[in-house]
Amino acid sequence: MLRKRPVLEFIRKITSPVFTTRDLANFCGRSLSATVQSLNFLKREGFIFKLSRGLWAQSGHQQLSPFKLVPFLLPRQRAYVSFISALHLYGIIEQIPQTITLASTTHSKVIRTSLGTFAIHQIQPSFFCGFHWYRESGDFLIAEPEKALVDCLYLSARKKRQFGHFPELYFPSSFSFARARAWAGKISDRKIKARVRQRLKELLKA
């Protein structure tokens, strides 16, 4: 037990409540096998809990939220929060999505963790843009409000009308439909671009 206590001290020095086995092993200067043994011990003691394979979180950490996992979900790819989840964070949609929706250039997939479920939707590399750090905190990437809406319409035009229907939308005065149309103009497929622009016109009239 005494040999495992320093690992907890290293964990508490990590700025993020979420961390990987490999990152902790490198931070501690220990082997992966020794680090895994320490993590399993700390898990049994309730200091940490496992999110998914190789991914952990500090129990009771005040900053812990499902969004903290976003940078860790695709180690070799980037992903940003978009679609319904981003619209909710901006207050455009009040209803809280049960699944956190992300955009990436990798294949679409669903990732389930003990902290939440994430739906990753594939978009074209040329359309993988229009995002920034959430509240400039560096915690995770998120689409601009206008890009999040266009991402929804983009998927709706491509995949069986997915994200084609919204609950009631509340656009703040800062929301720019002109900027949304500009993002739509970056869609390479002409038919999809035309559908997205038409839906933007319908939303603006509504």
CATH number of the domain that residue 53 is part of:
1.10.10.10
Mean pLDDT for all residues in the chain: 90
Same domain, 94 and 52: no
Same domain, 41 and 132: no
Same domain, 106 and 181: yes
Q: How many domains does the chain have?
A: 2
pLDDT at 138: 67
* Whole-number Å distance between alpha carbons of 8 and 115: 21
* Whole-number Å distance between alpha carbons of 95 and 65: 18
pTM of the model: 0.88
Same domain, 110 and 193: yes
**pLDDT-based confidence at residue 137 (cuts at 50, 70, 90):** low
Tell me which of 33, 58, 83 is where a domain ends: 58
Tell me which of 58, 74, 96 is where a domain ends: 58
Closest by CA position to 55, among listed 100, 28, 23, 98 = 23
For residue 160, is it left (φ>0), alpha (ψ between -120 and 50) or beta? left
Which runs of E-coded beta strand occur in the chain?
Answer: 18-20, 48-52, 55-58, 79-81, 100-104, 109-112, 117-122, 131-133, 141-143
Same domain, 71 and 114: yes
Same domain, 54 and 135: no
Same domain, 79 and 181: yes
Q: State whether residue 18 is helix, strand or coil.
A: strand
- The per-residue pLDDT for range 49-68, each reduced to its tens digit, is 999 889 999 998 888 999 99
Same domain, 36 and 100: no
What is the domain range of residue 34?
A: 5-58
- The per-residue pLDDT for range 99-110, each reduced to its tens digit, is 999 999 999 999
